[in-house]
């Protein structure tokens, strides 16, 4: 099953509702020694909030347009490796085209 941007949005919206619900039940109290202790709802709220933040970063990273500087650096590194490896291709090798093809093939992998 392919996870779509809409599914991510629905999941994040639902998780926000769960966080809001848990927030109503979050509480802390003091132990006999005076140290604060959170209840299970508060601990679960904190863990879920961190998971939601990670998911949001992943979604943003997937939907962000590629950085041309980063893409250019990747291309230059592949070209450097290809030149060093001296691949068995024609004498008039177009390293840039070859590197671009390799990067596109890598990006198409699931």
The tens digit of pLDDT for each residue in 35-91 reads 888 888 888 989 999 999 988 888 777 776 666 677 777 777 777 776 666 655 554
Give me the residue label for tokens 């990273």: 61
Query: Are residue 84 and residue 103 in the same domain, yes or no?
Result: yes
Query: Are residue 46 and residue 11 in the same domain, yes or no?
Result: yes
Q: How far is CA 102 from the centre of its chain?
A: 22
Query: Are residue 81 and residue 58 in the same domain, yes or no?
Result: no
Measured distance CA(35)–CA(29) in Å, rounded? 8
Query: Are residue 9 and residue 55 in the same domain, yes or no?
Result: yes
Could you tell me the pTM of the whole model?
0.51
Q: What are 30's strand-pairing partners?
A: 36
Query: Are residue 89 and residue 51 in the same domain, yes or no?
Result: no
Tell me which residue range forms the domain holding 41: 5-63
Query: Are residue 73 and residue 92 in the same domain, yes or no?
Result: yes
User: What total number of domains does the chain contain?
Assistant: 2
CA distances for 35 relative to 53, 59, 72, angstroms: 28, 38, 54
CA torsion sign for 40, 42, 47, 51 is: positive
């Amino acid at each position: 099953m392919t996870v779509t941007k809409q599914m991510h949005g629905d999941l994040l919206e639902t998780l926000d509702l769960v966080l809001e619900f848990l927030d109503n039940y979050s509480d802390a109290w003091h132990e006999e020694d005076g140290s604060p202790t959170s209840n299970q709802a508060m601990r679960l709220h904190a863990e879920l909030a961190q998971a939601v933040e990670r998911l949001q970063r992943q979604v943003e990273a997937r939907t962000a347009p590629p950085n041309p500087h980063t893409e250019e650096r990747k291309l230059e590194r592949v070209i450097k490796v290809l030149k060093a490896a001296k691949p068995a291709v024609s004498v008039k090798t177009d390293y840039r085209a070859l590197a671009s093809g390799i990067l596109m093939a890598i990006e198409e992998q699931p």
